[in-house]
Amino acid sequence: MKLTRRSMVKAGGGAIALGAIAGCLGEPDGEQSEGGYAAFFPLWDWANEIADGEIDFENAIETGEMGHGWEPPSDLQRNIADSSAFVYLDTDEFPWAQEYASEFERDYDNVTLIDGMDGLENQLLEMDSDGDIDREPAEYDFDPNDLEIEGFDVYNQRTGNEIAYWHIDHWHGGVPDIPLGGEVVITGIFEDDEGRVLPIGDDKQFQLEASFVEEEDEDIEIESRGDDIVFGGDGPTQARIVFELVADGDVVWDTSDEAMLVSVVEELEETEAPEYPDPHVWVDPVIAQDIVMTIADGLGDADGDNAELYEENAREYVEKLEEIDAQFEALAENASRDVAVFAGHDSYQYIEARYDFELHTPVGISPDEAETSADISEMIELVKEHDIETILYDPFETQNPGEDIPQMVEVLLEETDAEHYEPLSPVEGTTQEWNEAGYGWIEQMEEINLPSLRQALGAE
């Protein structure tokens, strides 16, 4: 097999275009509000949690509506221009917010702009990260004693990007730097001399492992999980490692001809974001911690007298996000299945990547995209194939959020043996009922999403 560098499949389509904003704002009226605005629900919730009444934030999106794909009323830009701070996401899925922020930055200095995407470049996923990482293993009984490895490709498990490949006796590429106190998860694809993909995993014929070339470095942690490896770092250091293909506890192939250098660094260098990043960063409780601290820094710039209060409130809120992360970890660990179906748009890629389960959706990341008959047929087959009993649905993709269910759910219940359905909120909006119950981001996760996912994945 001829080895070549594989480029990741790019998501189709360009940025969403927004027409020119009608009219001209002119100069601020001199009566700047002490309040602020947030572009949609999670940013509004987090900003108010951090501000704790020192700055009152308004949610630009009305109750019952989702954030992206939304068109603002004519007076919103003026209202934000007269406020003290605007929290938004600089992503093409919120074009109106991008346009507003651009004009404010160019023509006004009275509004503090806080971009929740700032600094997230290294954590963003492509809209469509399906690619070579998803190659299916061959249905073939491999003989470990008569095995020739012709290709070994290494992928960043979180992003789906190919980061390295083994060519004959040496490496091209390498494992990304490991952030101090953080981790990098990689997975590998092995092919034999006939181009067949080997089955890799704890319960498969082969397992992927890694070991130190020399004495173990206590500041680098290596955890092999069968089909992927987690590298962690507790102190700045470097070490050389060898990847191993294991069968029945024995190493049947390795990269000892050339060891790979793995580094733990105190601070990651900035990298460019994917060309078409998935905007749904707010669903991830780990990424949310960074967004919350970014908001706190921005509020400190807007109101320096209370900067320490904002930072303290943000750190207290981060502890709540860490608890949500722990609940997701426990859910994944206790789940009896790793596949569910979600009658909604593809808003959970960050959760799927972090906690290693799949949510199949009929459409892509846009809530306005309509499913086809082929999409519906595929979902029906998935439900039957995996004996799925509970269908998840997006409560915002109905005329009456919180009351009705999408027609897609009714079809799946009629055409399969599934008997139950549960809501899964993309956490980018709220309902009147949730408002009355006092649900913020944390409560939507704890009261709605985590219970629904536990039921759908068999983790109750």
Structure tokens at 429: 């909006």
Query: Where does a domain end: 235, 265, 295?
Result: 265
Neighbours of 355 (CB within 10 A): 20
Q: Tell me the C-alpha to C-alpha distance, in Å, between residue 386 and each of 112, 156, 382.
A: 50, 27, 6
Neighbours of 331 (CB within 10 A): 18
Asked if the model's pLDDT at residue 116 lies above 60, the reply is yes
pLDDT per residue as tens digits for the range 326-370: 999 999 999 999 999 998 888 999 999 999 999 998 876 666 566
Residues 146 and 254 in one domain: yes
Of residues 204 and 4, more confidently modeled: 204
Of residues 131 and 138, more confidently modeled: 138
> How much of the chain exceeds pLDDT 70, in percent?
87
Domain span at residue 51 reads 36-123+277-320
**Nearest CA-CA partner of 114 in 163, 199, 54, 50:** 50
> How much of the chain exceeds pLDDT 90, in percent?
61
**Nearest CA-CA partner of 327 in 181, 460, 157:** 460
The structure tokens 């998860």 sit at 185
- The structural domain count of the chain equals 3
Q: In degrees rounded to 5, what are phi and psi of residue 388?
A: -75, 130
pLDDT score for 68: 59
Mean pLDDT over the full length of the chain: 86
What residue spans of 276-306 are helical by DSSP H? 285-302
Spatial separation of the C-alpha atoms in residues 183 and 179, rounded to whole Å? 7
Spatial separation of the C-alpha atoms in residues 319 and 325, rounded to whole Å? 10
Of residues 292 and 174, more confidently modeled: 292
217 within domain boundaries: yes
246 within domain boundaries: yes
Residues 66 and 140 in one domain: no
Q: How far is CA 54 from the centre of its chain?
A: 31
Strand order through the sheet with 112-115? 57-59, 36-38, 85-88, 112-115
Return the bridge partners of 110, or none. Answer: none
Spatial separation of the C-alpha atoms in residues 165 and 4, rounded to whole Å? 9
pLDDT score for 8: 26
196 within domain boundaries: yes
Residues 301 and 352 in one domain: no
8 within domain boundaries: no
Residues 96 and 220 in one domain: no
CATH number of the domain within which 237 lies: 2.60.40.1080
243 within domain boundaries: yes
pLDDT score for 3: 25
Query: Is 32:110 a contact under the CB 8 Å cutoff?
Result: yes
Average pLDDT over residues 107-115: 92
245 within domain boundaries: yes
- Region class of 23: left (phi > 0), else alpha (psi between -120 and 50), else beta: left
Residues 307 and 256 in one domain: no
The structure tokens 């499949």 sit at 9
pLDDT score for 7: 26
99 within domain boundaries: yes
Residues 105 and 155 in one domain: no
pLDDT per residue as tens digits for the range 205-242: 999 999 999 888 888 999 999 999 999 988 899 999 99
Residues 50 and 108 in one domain: yes
Residues 178 and 205 in one domain: yes
Spatial separation of the C-alpha atoms in residues 121 and 106, rounded to whole Å? 24
Of residues 33 and 389, more confidently modeled: 389
Q: Which of 17-21, 128-132, 281-285, 393-397 has the lowest mean pLDDT?
A: 17-21
pLDDT per residue as tens digits for the range 399-408: 666 567 888 8
Spatial separation of the C-alpha atoms in residues 450 and 460, rounded to whole Å? 10
Q: How far is CA 204 from the centre of its chain?
A: 27
Q: Which of 112-126, 187-201, 390-404 has the lowest mean pLDDT?
A: 390-404
Spatial separation of the C-alpha atoms in residues 156 and 427, rounded to whole Å? 27
64 within domain boundaries: yes
H/E segment holding residue 304 = none
Helix and strand counts by DSSP (H, E) for the chain: 11, 19
pLDDT score for 5: 23
Residues 310 and 396 in one domain: no
Asked if the model's pLDDT at residue 434 lies above 70, the reply is yes
Residues 119 and 136 in one domain: no
pLDDT per residue as tens digits for the range 263-272: 999 887 766 6
Q: In degrees rounded to 5, what are phi and psi of residue 123?
A: -115, 0
Residues 143 and 260 in one domain: yes
Q: Sign of the C-alpha dihedral, residues 295, 296, 299, 301?
A: negative
Q: Sign of the C-alpha dihedral, residues 254, 255, 257, 261?
A: negative
Of residues 316 and 23, more confidently modeled: 316
Residues 231 and 310 in one domain: no
**Nearest CA-CA partner of 241 in 230, 256, 219, 226:** 256
CATH number of the domain within which 424 lies: 3.40.50.1980
pLDDT score for 128: 60
Query: Is 131:7 a contact under the CB 8 Å cutoff?
Result: no
Q: Which of 10-24, 152-166, 306-320, 407-421 has the lowest mean pLDDT?
A: 10-24
pLDDT score for 317: 98
Asked if the model's pLDDT at residue 113 lies above 50, the reply is yes
